[in-house]
Every structure is written in C-alpha cells, then in structure tokens.
Amino acid sequence: MNDPIKSRLLELAANFKDELGGVIPLLHQVQKQFGYIPKSCAETVAPLFRLSTAEVEGVISFYHQFKREPQGKHRIQICRAEACQANGCRELEAFSKEYLQLEYGQTSADGLLSLDSVYCLGLCSHGPAVRVDDDLFVEVGTEKLQSIVEGLNDGR
Ligand code: FES
C-alpha cells in the first residue's frame, strides 16, 4: 500500500543520505515540512544512513526542537534561562500556563497554539524574552503576553 508520509520521508532523505552526519539536517527538514517528526521517520530513514532505528530515535530524542506530535499553528516559546529568570520569567510562565491552559510541550485542542520553553534567545538584558513563531518580544509581562495572544487569535 502506498504510504504518502513514508514516500515523502524517503524523498527528503535522498537529499541528505550521502552527507556526513546528514541525518541531523534531514530531521530539521522533516520537522520543517511536516511540523513534527512522524512516528515512522526513524525506521524509514535509518537504513539510508547505515544507522539503526534506535540510533535515529536517539538523535530525535536528544534535540528539543524535534517534536513528536503536530504543533499548533502558532508556537509560543518562553525563555527560561538564567537572565530571564532574574527578570521574572517564572511568574510569566506560571501565568501563561494558566492563561493558555497548556503545559510546556502541549498544543491547544483547536490546534492554534503550542507552548514551549527555550533556553536563551539572545535578548538577556531585556527579559523576560518570548518568541512567537519567528517574532521576538522583550520585557514580556503578563499583560503583554495576553495582548500578543489576543493578536494571534484575531489573526487566526
Ligand atoms: S536568558 Fe532569556 S534571552 Fe537570554
């Protein structure tokens, strides 16, 4: 039976299979195209890289940015690194979890929002820092976070 996910994984893998360490750029490409790493990925691509399924699974598990489940349309990442902690990110994260009704790593039931943590966005003196999709926000307090999320909801 034709499996479109497997076919697409094999197509992508063909572009990286001859590169040294090509499995990592491949996984980034899979994450980008699918929005997550499909369950069948490791098993499908491992032989092309002369790796075991377990070795590819190990790479997927090691990197925080590789997601096992489909992500929300918008991805909110709150910086939890030291400088942002000194600027109040703990309060922001507690508020965000309550406000969004999400834990880190979860996606809302309507598929609109995913919440995640991140460790340093390079904006350390202006924390708490937050990334929403490709946009960076600084000095994010609870009201600012609410207004960012309302903007996403309006734009859907
Ligand atoms: S510690 Fe948060 S941006 Fe660097």
Are 50 and 88 in the same domain?
Answer: no
Predicted confidence band of residue 152 (pLDDT cuts 50, 70, 90): confident
Are 101 and 129 in the same domain?
Answer: yes
- For residue 118 and ligand 1, the question of a CB distance below 6 A is answered with no
Per DSSP (E only), the strands in 5-154 are 74-79, 113-118, 130-132, 135-137
Residue 69 lies in a domain: no
Are 145 and 93 in the same domain?
Answer: yes
* pLDDT tens per residue across span 64-106: 889 988 888 999 999 999 999 999 999 999 999 999 999 998 9
What are the backbone angles phi and psi of residue 65, rounded to the nearest 5°?
-75, -10
Query: Bridge partners of 135?
Result: 132
- For residue 83 and ligand 1, the question of a CB distance below 6 A is answered with yes
Which of 116, 121, 136 has the most ligand 1 atoms within 8 A of CB, as the residue to mutate?
121
- For residue 127 and ligand 1, the question of a CB distance below 6 A is answered with yes
Give the residue from 15, 3, 11 showing the smallest Cα distance to 39: 3
Are 18 and 79 in the same domain?
Answer: no
- Structural domain including 16 reads 4-62
CA distance between the termini of the chain: 36
Which of 123, 136, 140 has the most ligand 1 atoms within 8 A of CB, as the residue to mutate?
123
Are 93 and 149 in the same domain?
Answer: yes
**In this predicted structure, what is the pLDDT of residue 155?**
63
- Given the DSSP bridges, would you call strands 130-132 and 135-137 parallel, antiparallel or unpaired? antiparallel
* 130 CA to centre of ligand 1 in angstroms: 9
* pLDDT tens per residue across span 106-125: 999 999 999 999 999 999 99
CATH number reported for the structural domain that contains residue 85 in this entry: 3.40.30.10
Residue 115 lies in a domain: yes
Are 57 and 84 in the same domain?
Answer: no
* 76 CA to centre of ligand 1 in angstroms: 15
In this predicted structure, the answer to whether residue 17 has a pLDDT above a threshold of 90 is yes
Of the candidates 62, 82, 103, which is a domain's last residue?
62
pTM over the 0.85 mark: no
* pLDDT tens per residue across span 130-146: 999 989 999 999 999 99
Of the candidates 39, 62, 85, which is a domain's last residue?
62
Predicted confidence band of residue 129 (pLDDT cuts 50, 70, 90): very high
